[in-house]
Amino acid sequence: MAWALRLACGAVLLVALGSAPAAAQLPPAPTWNPELRPNMPRQPLPRIARQRDDEWRLGCAATVVEGLGVVTARHCGFGRAQIPVGSVAVQFGEERRRIVGATVPSEPFQVEGRPMQPQFDWAILEVEGPLPAVDRITYVGRAGLVTASRTAPLTKLGPGRGGPNAAPADGPCWPLEIGMGGTVFTFQCRDGTGPGRSGSPLLMRTADGWGFVGMHVAEFDTPEGKVGIAIVPPRRAD
């Protein structure tokens, strides 16, 4: 689900980023080198599935993150105090579906609508049954984002076409501005904002696998092309 007021959200966010004391301006990106692109995680990209008229329909992306859980954008149907039991699930691949039993929404909580500020647009999902085995994706969080540089580009994953596997962006993604204590940042990929939209993860290559840096929650147009808005959900103990 896309944000209804992308331009307004983008304008508000840019003002906030520009005035935030933690904002970090990064230098221009170098020329893209295909050899910088590491192997992608070998796994289906989890999708949010909602049951309507006795059919399961796929929507936003999600990510299984060690130290965090199953995380997605809150506006993907988790902005209410309660959700109908058995009507929302996380889809892993073709048939591996896990019903969402509870959610840990961001604060401040709103019964209706989406958060007024994008950094609160996250929800951690508690699903029934064991999670399928996936490639290790650890929580990098704010420190990892702030230290991200143009020599260590981010990779964005989105739903693939014609199958359950994740599709990577056609080239690297770069943080443009970082603000609000490292909880929100703007980004661009070589192909705009990359594959997928709400809930699609941005990852960083780490020494032992992949690190979850943030997820796409909105985008807006600029003279230089589309710019994405990504947020960094806090650890559950934060």
Q: Model confidence at 13, in pLDDT bands (50, 70, 90)?
A: low
Alpha-carbon distance values, 5 to 8, 118, 178, 219, 220 (Å)? 5, 12, 21, 10, 9
Task: List, in sequence order, every residue forming a beta bridge with 25; answer none if it has no partner.
Answer: 177
Residues written for the chain: 238
Residue 231 or 161, more confident: 231
Q: Model confidence at 111, in pLDDT bands (50, 70, 90)?
A: very low
pLDDT at site 19: 40
Question: For 21-60, how does the pLDDT look when each residue is reduced to its tens digit (9 = 90+)?
Answer: 333 444 444 444 444 445 556 566 888 888 888 888 888 9
pLDDT at site 40: 59
One-letter amino acid of 229: I
- pTM strictly above 0.85: no
Domain ranges within the chain, ordered by starting residue: 6-43+136-231, 47-127
Chain-centroid distance of CA 42 in Å reads: 18
Pick the CATH number of 47-127 from 1.10.10, 3.30.70, 1.20.950, 2.40.10: 2.40.10
Mean pLDDT of the chain: 72
| Domain 47-127 in the same topology as domain 6-43+136-231 | yes
pLDDT at site 160: 66
Mean local confidence (pLDDT), 189-193: 79
pLDDT at site 99: 78
pLDDT at site 36: 45
Q: Model confidence at 223, in pLDDT bands (50, 70, 90)?
A: confident
Question: Residue 137 and residue 225: Cα distance in Å, rounded?
Answer: 30
Question: For 60-93, how does the pLDDT look when each residue is reduced to its tens digit (9 = 90+)?
Answer: 999 888 878 889 988 887 765 556 667 788 888 7
Pick the CATH number of 6-43+136-231 from 1.10.20, 2.60.40, 1.10.10, 2.40.10: 2.40.10
Encoded tokens for 31: 């020329």
